[in-house]
Amino acid sequence: MNEAILAEGLVREFKGGIRAVDGVDLQVRPGEVYGFLGPNGAGKSTTVRMLATLLRPTGGSATVAGFDVASEAKSVRRSIGVALQDAAIDPFMTGRELLHLQGVLHGLSRAECRSTADRLLDRVGLTEAAERRVGTYSGGMRRRLDLALALVHEPVVLFLDEPTTGLDPTSRLALWEEVRRLNTEAGTTVFLTTQYLEEADQLAGRVGIIDGGRIVAEGTPQQLKAEVGDPALVITPADPERRDAAQEVLVRFGPEVEARPPGTAAARLPGGAARVAEAVRALDEAGISTASLDLHQPTLDDVFVAKTGRRLEGHGGGESPAAGRGKRGRRR
């Protein structure tokens, strides 16, 4: 097996001629964590559903774990673990029952089912809740069980479709930790779709950005951020009237940043921090006093904006390239 996932010109056209996925090429190496980023309706889930044999491609081809998703679907299914959006879990069954059932579906013996269930429950921290019906689980517990279910047969490739959407920050961190551990310890290839740039930044070795059914950018988070360019200097003038004047000063140092919070002026600053003092002096000379000043290192958010001209959902409104955040962004 050369590539864990290989897609060439993958297309899915729905009735009415809508091309949800419009010629996607993917190459994911074994052991890689690949982040698949895009807003709702960009074609993320449709792509995953095709790779996970839930949806037949209408064009192009794809192999997963070396097997063709169309002609060797059964072999693909043996090799993959799938945790789809909205944790597909029976509310009336207990966690242990579901794990046991999943084991049988994958052909594990009774004894294997039992030991696997014990091991995975322990691993995702659900041993105590194992005999409770899933209907009583919290959102985070469901996702963890969902992950455990996807791991029953020790898959080579794991598909996680928006694994942390709707989770609180603590649960999100716990799930990230688990995915990381899985990847480093078992060497599982992970294909992760997300709307959260932070998630991709945290987990993925490589990121693909999909928009309108096409991949618009791909690379390591570092590469993509570097592509966006230099850090942005964002200032809020003390006198809102002087914003335009402040912007005029800043563009002398670098290109204007279009996506910025209202009432601020912003420009990319080649040379970064070294030139902040210079810019501040220039503002000073122009008689503009600043209420706040921020040097914003590019994030995947910025990559997304640069590539698609839009922000991701949950990142709109007051969120800015500089609105006081390093690692922590505002989340839904």
Partner 1 sequence: MTLALRQTWALGRRAVAGTFRFPQAWFPSLFFPLLLMAIFTASFDRGIALIPGFPKVNGYLDFGISGTVLQGVLIGGVSSGAFFAGDIERGFFDRLVTSPVSRVVLLTNRLVAGIVLAAAQATLFVAIGLAFGARMEGGVAGFVTLIALAGLLAVPIGGLGILLALRTGSAEAVQGSFPLFFALMFFSSAFFPRETMTGWFKAVADVNPISHLVEGMRAQVIEGFRPGAAALSLAIIAGFSVLTVGGSAVALRRRLGAM
Residues at the site binding partner 1, with contacts judged by CB under 8 A: 49, 52-56, 74, 77-78, 80, 82, 84-90, 92-93, 97, 100-102, 104-107, 133, 149
Smallest gap from residue 229 Cβ to partner 1 (A): 41
Smallest gap from residue 20 Cβ to partner 1 (A): 13
Please check whether residue 249 is in contact with residue 281, taking contact to mean a CB–CB distance below 8 angstroms. no
Smallest gap from residue 115 Cβ to partner 1 (A): 17
Give me the helices (H) in the chain, please.
Answer: 44-51, 73-79, 95-105, 110-123, 139-150, 169-181, 197-203, 221-228, 243-250, 276-285, 300-308
Smallest gap from residue 90 Cβ to partner 1 (A): 6
Give the separation between CA 190 and CA 180, rounded to whole angstroms.
Answer: 9
Q: Which is nearer to partner 1, 93 or 251 (CB)?
A: 93
Q: Which is nearer to partner 1, 159 or 304 (CB)?
A: 159
Smallest gap from residue 192 Cβ to partner 1 (A): 16
Q: Which is nearer to partner 1, 36 or 67 (CB)?
A: 67
Smallest gap from residue 175 Cβ to partner 1 (A): 18
Longest dimension (CA), the chain: 78
CA dihedral sign of residues 277, 279, 283, 285: positive
Q: Which is nearer to partner 1, 45 or 299 (CB)?
A: 45
Smallest gap from residue 74 Cβ to partner 1 (A): 6
Token pair listed for 217: 């950018």
| φ, ψ dihedrals at 63, nearest 5° | -120, 145
Q: Which is nearer to partner 1, 54 or 282 (CB)?
A: 54
Angle value at C-alpha 248, between 231 and 239, nearest 5 degrees: 95
Cα-based distances in Å from 27 to 64, 136, 227: 10, 40, 20
> Residue 173: CB partners within 8 Å, gap ≥ 6?
none
Give the separation between CA 14 and CA 58, rounded to whole angstroms.
Answer: 9
Q: In the chain, helix, strand, coil percent, each to 5?
A: 35, 25, 40
Q: What 3-state DSSP class applies to 275?
A: helix
Smallest gap from residue 142 Cβ to partner 1 (A): 11
Give the separation between CA 95 and CA 137, rounded to whole angstroms.
Answer: 9
Q: Which is nearer to partner 1, 53 or 165 (CB)?
A: 53
Q: Which is nearer to partner 1, 10 or 207 (CB)?
A: 10
Smallest gap from residue 111 Cβ to partner 1 (A): 13
Report which of 97, 214, 195, 203 is spatially closest to residue 148, judged by C-alpha positions: 97
Q: Which is nearer to partner 1, 74 or 327 (CB)?
A: 74
Q: Which is nearer to partner 1, 99 or 215 (CB)?
A: 99
Report which of 225, 224, 246 is spatially closest to residue 236, judged by C-alpha positions: 246
